[in-house]
């Protein structure tokens, strides 16, 4: 890689984000990460540039994204707070357009159902349970999806995930555009899939399910 992209990571201290940062560095990408509380970082890596801030603050997003070419968003909703997935993605895209950044990869849950889906009965039932018991979050996730559909000038991909297993073990990754092909995946394999799809246009403007 002659001039590797600089990657901005949001949610880099979460279950998946820290693996994405590590995997990106191993692949030769410079990494800058937005962190709410840098003092709480358990595993500090001098190769990762840290920006202290919150995804709700658009100035923090501007500081994070300057001179980056790729944005990876694995932001996880803080417990007991109002859902802000759609607002966060709106802020990120606003700054991406200002800075002419064109590649975005985000993650969502397999419970998100879109028009093209052909989910199994079990997966439809699971999605319905999320809509009943986590209605605010699911409404916000739908708003985020509608926002993405209306912003196709940016090359975005939204990856839908099953239960995430905290493991360094790697397995074969199954992919499907209309239904979740399995019940779990390791955060290590999520990281591998995301980094491998930075330059891959297969899922641009799509929301693939991935699992083991």
pLDDT tens for 163-197 read: 999 887 788 999 999 999 999 999 999 999 999 99
pLDDT in tens, 119-154: 999 999 999 999 999 999 999 999 999 999 999 999
What confidence category does residue 42 fall into, taking pLDDT thresholds of 50, 70 and 90?
low
Whole-number pLDDT of residue 77: 78
Q: Hey, what's the torsion of the CAs at 95, 99, 105, 111, to 10 degrees?
A: 20
| Angstrom distance (rounded) from CA 141 to CA 104 | 16
3-state secondary structure of 153: coil
Whole-number pLDDT of residue 80: 79
Taken as a whole, the chain contains a residue count of 212
Q: Which pTM does this prediction carry?
A: 0.95
Beta partners for residue 161, in sequence order: 109
List Cβ neighbours of 139 (8 Å cut-off, separation of 6 or more). Answer: 83
> Which sign does the torsion angle of CA 62, 64, 70, 76 carry?
negative
Decide if 20 contacts 191 (C-beta within 8 A). yes
| Angstrom distance (rounded) from CA 107 to CA 158 | 5
Phi, psi of 155 (to 5 degrees): -80, 90
3-state secondary structure of 91: helix
> Fold for domain 7-211?
Rossmann fold (3.40.50)
């Amino acid at each position: 890689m002659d001039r590797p992209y600089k990657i901005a990571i949001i949610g880099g201290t979460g279950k998946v984000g820290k693996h994405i940062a590590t995997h990106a560095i191993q692949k030769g990408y410079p990494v800058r990460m937005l962190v709410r509380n840098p003092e709480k970082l358990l595993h500090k890596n001098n190769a990762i540039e840290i920006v202290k801030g919150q995804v709700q603050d658009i100035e923090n997003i501007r500081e994070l994204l300057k001179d980056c070419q790729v944005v990876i968003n694995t932001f996880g909703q803080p417990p007991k707070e109002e859902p802000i997935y759609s607002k966060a993605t709106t802020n990120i895209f606003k700054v991406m357009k200002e800075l002419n950044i064109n590649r975005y990869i985000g993650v969502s849950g397999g419970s998100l159902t879109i028009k093209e889906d052909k989910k199994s009965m079990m997966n439809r039932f699971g999605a319905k349970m999320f809509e009943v018991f986590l209605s605010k979050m699911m409404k916000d996730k739908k708003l985020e999806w509608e926002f993405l559909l209306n912003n196709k000038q940016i090359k975005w991909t939204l990856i839908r995930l099953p239960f995430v297993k905290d493991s360094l073990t790697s397995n074969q990754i199954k992919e499907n555009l209309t239904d979740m092909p399995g019940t779990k995946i390791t955060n290590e394999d999520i990281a591998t899939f995301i980094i491998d799809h930075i330059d891959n246009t297969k899922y641009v403007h799509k929301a693939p399910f991935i699992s083991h």
